[in-house]
Amino acid sequence: STTPAVVTVTGAAGQIGYAALFRIAAGAMLGHDRPVRLRLLELPHAVSAAEGTAMELDDGAFEQLLSVDIFDDARAAFDGAEFALLIGAKPRARGMERADLLQANAAIFAEQGEVLNDVAAADLRVVVVGNPANTNAAIAAAHAPDIPPERFTALTRLDHNRAIAQLAHRAGCAARDISRVSVWGNHSPTQYPDIFHARVAGRSGADLATDRAWLVDDFIPTVARRGTAIIEARGASSAASAASATIDHIHDWVLGTESDDWTSAALPSPGVYGVPEGLVCSFPVRSVGGRWEIVSGLEINEFSRARIDASVAELAGEITAVGDLLPA
């Protein structure tokens, strides 16, 4: 399509926003033939930094970039948005309990859901990156009664891509030789990267999984705790990889997944694979005709079942913790 896409990015002056915006402007997200209008939302104190980023976007002279507008008001920023990349969130401060973090972010995402409901485009697609991403997405969806809930997704593509990277190292192959990895559950250390259905350079993932010591003590914790390892090494949290995964997520949602592959995304559960309806949970998904479809019929063994259940229980607990911000 050559109709300009209206893309609103929150937390635009943050480190993920900075890394994402240039690739969106360069056509990596929606294809190299789709013009883009960027709308950046920031907190008032970070508007100046966003203006600096907008100056640099200008200086990219990107052929597809039609405009960049900056806002500190959500209602203005989301006006006509077809894509909402909800990256901005309240970070966890020293001494803050997880429940307080959930509450603080639930308030932000409740408000953003309401505003999206009022002013976004009819075909709006949302990806929540700001943590706790799954529950933030559930809250936003619950406050947007006129928008189909499946338009609210949360990012687990970074976890998916991290799982591919670890498998590639293990098998001594390239990322492109790996398909059908699945990430289940919450974007948190309880997430479950599932390789039992994967294809790894001609081998089955189940074959690799027979080495249970590697699977349990190496692969799963390395993927689940990769964010912490990045902070320790880099002195800052994942930014370019998170931006890249966000772009992959929207790219595949709009343009489709490869026919013999799938990816992972968190979406409101329709009540499949033992995940209670409405929890925003990561599933293996295909994108067909611009919609995510959860891959059906996968056999879930006991090993996987226990891990999926643990992550889903955590998601249910998060929803309970923010219960008073959910409409009755």
Annotated binding site for substrate: 92, 98, 131, 162
- Neighbour count for residue 149 (Cβ, 10 Å): 20
Query: Rounded distance, CA 50 to CA 280, Å?
Result: 30
- Annotate each residue in 150-169 with x if it binds ligand NAX (CB under 6 A) or - if it does not, as one string: -----x--x-----------
Residues in a beta bridge with 126 = 84, 152
Binding of residue 266 to ligand NAX (CB under 6 A):
no
In the list 30, 84, 108, 247, the residue contacting ligand NAX (rule: CB under 6 A) is 108
Separation in Å, CA 300 to CA 175, 268, 296: 24, 20, 11
| 186 neighbors 158 (Cβ within 8 angstroms) | no
Applying CB under 6 A, among 188, 238, 244, 263 the residue interacting with ligand NAX is 238
Identity of the residue, 158 or 312, whose beta carbon is nearer to ligand NAX in the bound complex: 158
187 is a site residue for ligand NAX (CB under 6 A): yes
**Which residue out of 160, 187, 197, 249 is catalytically annotated?**
187
| By CB under 6 A, residue 131 contacts ligand NAX | yes
| CB nearer to ligand NAX: pick between 137 and 208 | 137
Residue 32 annotated to the active site: no
Q: Which of 9, 24, 25, 41 touches ligand NAX (CB under 6 A)?
A: 41
Task: Write out the DSSP string of 199-249.
Answer: EETTEEHHHHHT-HHHIIIIIHHHHHTHHHHHHHHHSS---HHHHHHHHHH
Candidates 56-64, 82-90, 247-255, 270-278; binding stretch for ligand NAX (CB under 6 A): 82-90
How many residues contact ligand NAX, by CB under 6 A? 29
Task: Please give the single-letter amino acid code of residue 129.
Answer: V
Asked if 292 and 253 count as a contact pair (C-beta separation under 8 A), the reply is: yes
Cβ atoms of 158 and 193 within 8 Å: the answer is no
Q: Which is nearer to ligand NAX, 87 or 102 (CB)?
A: 87
Question: CB of residue 166 vs ligand NAX: minimum separation in angstroms?
Answer: 16
Which residue's Cβ has the minimum distance to ligand NAX? 14
42 touching ligand NAX, by CB under 6 A:
yes
**Binding-site residues for NAD(+):** 11-17, 105, 112, 129-131
Residues in the chain: 328
**Spatial contact of 196 and 223, defined as CB atoms under 8 Å apart:** no
SS3 of residue 127 by DSSP: strand
185 binds ligand NAX, rule: CB under 6 A: no
In this complex, which beta carbon is closest to ligand NAX, that of residue 184 or of residue 208? 184
Q: Containing H/E element for 315?
A: helix 302-321
Q: What angle do CA 86, 91, 93 make, to 5 degrees?
A: 170
Contact window for ligand NAX (CB under 6 A) among 60-68, 178-186, 235-243, 287-295? 235-243
Q: How far is the CB of 262 from ligand NAX (least distance, A)?
A: 18
Maximal CA-CA distance, the chain: 54
Which residues are identified as catalytic?
187
